[in-house]
Amino acid sequence: MIPIPVVVCVMGGWCTVYLLDTALRSSTSMKSSYESWLTSNGLSLSPFHIRWHTSLFNRLFARCSHFNPCFLYVWFSAGMVFGIVAMFGSVVLLGRTLMQTLAHMMAETPEGTHEQVLQVVVPGVNLPVSQLAYFFIAILVSGLIHEFGHGVAALREQVRLNGFGMFMFVIYPGAFVDLFTTHLNLISPVQQLRIFCAGVWHNFMLCVAAVCFLLLLPFLLFPFYYTGAGALITEVVEDSPSSGPRGLFVGDLVTRMEDCSVKGVEDWHSCIQQLSHQPQSGYCVPTATLQLSRAAGRAYKRLDGTMECCSNSSMTDLCFAYSNNLESRLFACLPARKTIEASRTCRTNADCQVDFSPSLCVIPSLENQTRLIRVKHPPQADMLFVGYPSHLQFSVSLTNFVPRLGFLHLDLPVMLETLSKYLVSLSGALAVVNAVPCFALDGQWMLTAFLEATLCSLIPEKSNRELLGFFILLGGSTLLAANVALGLWMVTAR
């Protein structure tokens, strides 16, 4: 969950702002000058909400609206088509998401939540607190691009722009454009559609641009970072299975896990999944070593039915199971690191027949679902991990990008990559959600303009078209509200 100090700071900050605002408005000597200062700077304050409005950027919007008129016509016409498709597609997507959510709610063991395209995000629950900065930056950038599209499209259709503004509600940042409503009502429905669809169109194109940036990132950073050599450790969780003197360290380059080659972060995750589902691999050990370390008669069953043959107090020895030609199952307590580091992996005794000295395949006798995994991160000694593979998977943070020079920061590519991924997710989500025919969203005005442009001949009475639009908006609003409510319940209650 969100750390208490963060909540205290946010609430304390807003309470301070509200009390200061109240005190200044109550002061007989300061009230007039304070309110004049707020008005002149376009600021307005209310509990947990601050808003700024300005006309400083009107000239910039005007210049952009006159840039290559033919291109802008094609651009916003394409946006209009996309907006109409998105309006219908968003309803289908929300309906599908709602059905998936209901199926997960009724399932005993809900699986496949990752298949949902849309998910409710709750900071501290399914959004790491450490990534809140990326989240809010992506929201702000997506909002700015969204409103920039509305502003330029409006000026291009000869609708006056009164100003541009930004706001913050609690910790949620946003932006808006102030259009002259009279002009907006005078233009044709098709022109209105170009304006109303421009926001979701720009969000979609920002999403596409972020995807392209992600794909091109290895080439853009090639002079400073290289990829394909392994997975670079950027963070190790304190007191995790990967920490410690023989564990992993920031700056280590993981190149192999057992016999699975690691060329990047994707390989790291796929190797762990592969090792989780495969039987535990064994190691070729000389027969002479086994005869000296054989623990016949000292093996015993654990509570889960697996066998143990080493002392519980031993931190370096591990129980291994093997078989020879005479006995089907034997056990030996061997020093884990010495046994594994110089040994080749195997599945059966036949895999060890290529050795010059007689060897047998010994397999670690571990508790159910746990694994012994040898992680190579040269030039350091191999890390030997014993435990659940998922614990290893999420105990470190990694990146594909290895710096060519020592002074280059390990986290820079990670920051760019993470921000781009948030832009893809949030800008894409804003494009979908804003296109929903729902009250107070762009979809409301898109639907109204669409009905006016297409149903004038079929439904001549404007009141009937408005009634049809009202019921569609009511259905869209209900669908969106149901998705949000059930999504919140799924995230917080399950």
Q: Which residues are catalytic?
A: 147
Max CA separation in the chain (angstroms): 101
Rounded distance, CA 161 to CA 26, Å? Answer: 35
Rounded distance, CA 379 to CA 250, Å? Answer: 14
Residue 110, preceding bond cis, omega within 30 degrees?
no
DSSP 294: B
Neighbours of 91 (CB within 10 A): 20
Contact 170, 82 (CB under 8 A): no
3-class DSSP state for residue 308? strand
Alpha helical stretches, state H, 27-57:
31-40
Contacts (Cβ under 8 Å, ≥6 apart) of 307: 299, 300, 301, 319, 321, 331, 365
Amino acid, res. 66: H
Rounded distance, CA 93 to CA 434, Å? Answer: 13
- Residue among 39, 29, 62, 25 nearest 154 (CA): 62
CA dihedral in degrees (476, 482, 487, 488; nearest 10)? Answer: 120
Contacts (Cβ under 8 Å, ≥6 apart) of 402: 225, 226, 227, 229, 230, 232, 253
- Residue among 274, 276, 280 nearest 261 (CA): 274
CA-based torsion, 239, 242, 245, 248: positive or negative: negative
Contact 232, 224 (CB under 8 A): no
Neighbours of 448 (CB within 10 A): 21
CA atoms within 13 A on the CB side of 87: 26
Q: Using alpha carbons, list the distances in angstroms from residue 172 to 143, 154, 199, 346.
A: 11, 26, 19, 55
Structure tokens at 302: 């654990």
